[in-house]
Amino acid sequence: MSDRLLRVNAYTTLDLVDGRARGHEFETEAPGVVNVTAPREDPEHVTLEVELDNTAIDDLTAHADEIDLSPAQARTLAEALESTADRVEAARNGDDSL
């Protein structure tokens, strides 16, 4: 991804994910980056960052979306990701018990 707004390095949570930008008049796919971080000093929140490769999207200017979460919100999101991942994995394996 050229012209990144987010720093992508060895510590980035997920790089080169399959992403999608959707608006009222468009939907397009692009590779992206997802990162989870917190301030180094006196952290009060968890930040979830998402950026799609702007060279693959004509309908949006270069931008990164960031969401600040409380520790409780971050744990709720983590639990939802875990349970949804379990359900998708079970479906891929033909297990309907979840």
Amino acid 96: pLDDT? 66
Is residue 81 a part of any domain in this protein?
no
Q: Using only C-alpha atoms, what is the Rg of the chain? A: 16
**Greater pLDDT, 62 or 82:** 82
Is residue 28 a part of any domain in this protein?
yes
Amino acid 98: pLDDT? 56
Structural domain tally of the chain? Answer: 1
Q: Is the alpha carbon torsion for 79, 80, 85, 87 positive or negative?
A: positive
Q: Is the alpha carbon torsion for 24, 26, 27, 29 positive or negative?
A: negative
Is residue 94 a part of any domain in this protein?
no
pLDDT digits (tens, 9 = 90+) for 77-89: 999 999 999 999 9
Is residue 3 a part of any domain in this protein?
no
Amino acid 75: pLDDT? 97
Is residue 35 a part of any domain in this protein?
yes
Kindly report the average pLDDT of the chain as a whole number: 91
The whole-angstrom separation of Cα 89 and Cα 65 is 28
Cβ burial of 43 (10 Å; 0-12, 13-18, 19+) is exposed
Is residue 43 a part of any domain in this protein?
yes
Is residue 41 a part of any domain in this protein?
yes
Amino acid 2: pLDDT? 62
Is residue 58 a part of any domain in this protein?
yes
Amino acid 6: pLDDT? 87
77: CB partners within 8 A, 6+ apart: 48, 69
Amino acid 61: pLDDT? 87
Q: Which domain holds residue 23?
A: 14-69
